[in-house]
Structure 1
């Protein structure tokens, strides 16, 4: 029997699809092999980009008790080359390939108190946790940060369900989240779960470490889709294998190398496991480290990078010239 986190692929039929916030589409799927869903789980989906299949990961927002219906929410990236656009074009009756629910972000029941932090579309990974903690009568805060109200998915439902436990921060209303202040307000015994842009999560992680809080009590989910810089095309070279490819804005280096026919090592595709790491031989530009596998000390020399999420960007003074990274792979 497969373990609870093995990738069992199956067909899923779109039951409904609707826009629920600016650029965010809620898609309800009916998998052919239903499986009960736990808070924090996600599914992998095969999307078609230019006729080629790629894999994208989406948190399960909510599901029926037996998993016969499950919902995901997809943000239409402004720099997409087809991944999120493919998902936004799905209509009821369409069929796609998907995995059973996978767990990389489990909620530990029994902590003295919780802080749940969602940044933007990261609410999709947090919403189910908040609902479970409410049902259990746990002590929790739900902190939701976004650019604007129109960009907030599920805002009305969350306000109705969680009341005073919900805390909203909006950039365009001058109430942006202060990561340090948030961490300073967390009880020492509390557990903090977060999902959102890498800048937000890195600020929280740094403040958490500076305060000396227990690292096992800080838990997070990342799909590697945000970084310190805007995604831009760059060139990757593998001289030993005679390979050169352009990495487009809406694909990873891993996907670009696979496109050339290279057999790459990988597992999570989210910058968490480190299996896809490559050695940097030369760099014309800067590395946008989007992983959570390396520590800050390991990232600083720019000698390695996780090619499933991290990218290269042009130097500030040479923005008209695309970056080039020369690598070697195992």
Structure 2
């Protein structure tokens, strides 16, 4: 059962499509019912993936002409469950089913300083924020981190636009982002209690930043985030979900999520963000045969260590031992 913050669906026509960077596609949609998208918004799309209708969320890079042109940036994920492959196949004239802009990552007003941190394709959630802060004349820094320049979307354009406000870290150039040093600069800088950080990127980066933020005793409400991707401790593998209350078991393949597999099997589940952020799809864990690979940012470190609950939308199970042949399994109690 979906619990979605946006109530209407409409059609959107692809009016432009081209490459932003290696493996990153720019797609401009023209919706039937245009609404201007404020910084931090995303749109949900219903995609037909191998005969199954899936909902996928994409950040709005830019909103132009009163929302008549909404630009998305989509990275072709190596472990894609089909969404990014489908999006990369869209051509001008194609029509998709979409929501209007959904605001779940709003940019605040009134902070003394803003720090925006993007890991990889997470930059798509922060481009509009950086542009807005520049227009306001705010004190801000835009931090971009990636593995290679060739895969970092909008890098040159952002550097031209934001000048010395931008800091770039590229792994293969030997210049890696030091999370603790970055957060330490905020803690030791002017007005740390009135500095807000907005971050979007892989879950491991988000977790590292949150740990550093807490360690430096900065105000937790001043740290805002949106996740991108669901990188885990182990590569995705097939596992089994046992549901004693339904007297059934459901197999989860490598290219689908637990949430999608349960819905395909006709099991009624609650969800909203599908990114491991909101906790609406959290369920109780009764037993584990193998290891749980928590990929959410909702549960605390302690909750993940105890394995008493998990978020269906991003969590997976793994054998954890290379020599083991049978798949991992988790036994759940659904609300």
Range of TM-score over shorter length: over 0.9
Indicate whether 1:41 and 2:41 are aligned: yes
User: Which residue of 2 is the match for residue 180 of structure 1?
Assistant: 180
Indicate whether 1:324 and 2:333 are aligned: no
Distance 2:70 2:211 in 1: 35
Residue 263 and residue 182 in structure 1: after superposition, are their counterparts in 2 closer, same or farther (change >3 A)?
Answer: same
Task: Please give the residue correspondences for 1:117-132 in structure 2 after superposition, counting only pairs within 5 Å.
Answer: 117-132=117-132
User: Which residue of 1 is the match for residue 78 of structure 2?
Assistant: 78
Residue 276 of structure 2 is aligned with which of 271, 279, 284?
A: 271
1:205-224 superposed Cα distances (whole Å, 9 cap, x missing partner): 00100110000110001255
Post-superposition offset of 1:43: 0.5
Post-superposition offset of 1:234: 1.8
User: Which residue of 2 is the match for residue 237 of structure 1?
Assistant: 242
Distance 1:215 1:81 in 2: 33
Question: Does the 8 A contact of 1:37 with 1:65 survive in 2?
Answer: no
Task: Please give the residue correspondences for 1:17-96 in structure 2 after superposition, counting only pairs within 5 Å.
Answer: 17-96=17-96
1:156 is paired with a residue whose SS is helix
User: Which residue of 1 is the match for residue 289 of structure 2?
Assistant: 284
User: Which residue of 1 is the match for residue 203 of structure 2?
Assistant: 198
User: Which residue of 2 is the match for residue 315 of structure 1?
Assistant: 320
Aligned length: 327
**Large movers: runs of 4+ above 3 Å:** 316-321
1:66 is paired with a residue whose SS is helix
User: Which residue of 2 is the match for residue 165 of structure 1?
Assistant: 165
Post-superposition offset of 1:46: 0.8
TM-score by length of structure 1 reads: 0.95
1:272-329 superposed Cα distances (whole Å, 9 cap, x missing partner): 2222111112212211212222111122110110101111122134465432112121
Distance 1:325 1:224 in 2: 22
Distance 2:65 2:184 in 1: 37
2:306 is paired with a residue whose SS is coil
Residue 118 and residue 28 in structure 1: after superposition, are their counterparts in 2 closer, same or farther (change >3 A)?
Answer: same
Question: Does the 8 A contact of 2:285 with 2:332 survive in 1?
Answer: yes
1:121-154 superposed Cα distances (whole Å, 9 cap, x missing partner): 0000011100000111111110000010011000
Distance 1:134 1:313 in 2: 45
TM-score by length of structure 2 reads: 0.94
1:297 is paired with a residue whose SS is helix
Distance 1:319 1:159 in 2: 49
**Greater shift in the superposed pair: 95-104 or 183-192:** 183-192
Question: Does the 8 A contact of 2:49 with 2:86 survive in 1?
Answer: yes
What is the aligned-residue RMSD (CA, Å)? 1.5
1:161 is paired with a residue whose SS is helix
1:227-280 superposed Cα distances (whole Å, 9 cap, x missing partner): 333322222121221322222233211110001001111222222222211111
**Greater shift in the superposed pair: 192-201 or 259-268:** 259-268
1:95-136 superposed Cα distances (whole Å, 9 cap, x missing partner): 010000001100002210011000000000011100000111
Indicate whether 1:144 and 2:144 are aligned: yes
Distance 1:299 1:78 in 2: 26
**Greater shift in the superposed pair: 244-253 or 292-301:** 244-253
